A = this chain, B = another copy of it.
Amino acid sequence: MKAVILLSGGLDSSTILYKAKIEDGCECHAISFDYQQRHRRELHSAVLIAQKAGIVKHQVVNFDLRQWGGSALTDDTIDLPQKRTLDEMAQNIPVTYVPARNTIFLSFALSYAEAISGERVYIGVNALDYSGYPDCRPDYIQAMQEVFRLGTKQGREGQPIDIVPPLINLKKTEIIQLGNQLGVPWELTWSCYAGGDVACGVCDSCRLRLAAFAELGLVDPLTYAS
């Protein structure tokens, strides 16, 4: 079965790539985006992980979301949140929200999937994301599924492309446990928002990741600045 995997280079998307390939036996085509994000270092990780996993094809799509900004990830004048508690992260849509980012990502994945007569698009959204981000929640994924069905030739001809969100109900600790079973190379992944050569350890994304490894009594093999 041909599948397109949304691969950011982070912990979650690397796990779904390994799940699609090893557990679900898919022919994997990955897609990543250089949208001039602050943390472009993640793209390098995506390339390394795609190579390591040995997939069929890895597409990197380039465009520039700094043209209109609207997010701390695409506008350097907006500061990244730091040292927020996990509860604080879960309560508000953070400034790292990029307007309609997952809709753009899923649209390109849909286009690519239809061009190769694929059957699935994997996306690594999870319960922790959807407490903060509107475009990670189950009802949103369901709405996009309807777009996948109605907005394509394949869908209209009765062969819709399915959105598969394997992590949607998992906590970060459960994702790490799944990734460990699948042999995900955590040392190649990248989660930090800050855009340095070494993960900052203090942005929301680093803190969530570190907290989950710590909760499991595991050591995150990445090097952190603090």
Chain A interface (Cβ < 8 Å from any Cβ of B): 59, 61-65, 67-70, 93, 97-104, 106-108, 110-112, 114-116, 134-135, 137, 139-140, 143-144, 146-147, 149-153, 155-156
Contact = CB atoms under 8 A, between A and B. Distances in A.
Contacts of A149: 143
A104 B171 CA distance: 30
Contacts of A137: 150
Contacts of A150: 134-135, 137, 139-140, 143
A93 B150 CA distance: 13
A103 B147 contact: yes
Given A62-B64, A67-B112, 6 more contacts: A70-B116, A99-B114, A101-B111, A103-B110, A135-B151, A140-B151
Contact of A147 (B64, B69, B101, B144): B144
Contacts of A135: 150-152
A151 to B, nearest CB: 4
A65 B111 contact: yes
A63 B97 CA distance: 22
Contact of A63 (B63, B93, B103): B63
A61 B153 CA distance: 25
10 contacts: A68-B116, A70-B111, A99-B110, A99-B111, A100-B108, A104-B107, A104-B108, A107-B107, A134-B153, A143-B146
Contacts of A68: 59, 111-112, 115-116
A91 B149 CA distance: 20
A33 to B, nearest CB: 9
A175 to B, nearest CB: 22
A110 B100 CA distance: 6
Nearest to A139: B150
A106 B111 CA distance: 13
Contacts of A97: 153
Contacts of A112: 67-68, 99
A105 to B, nearest CB: 9
B99 A115 contact: yes
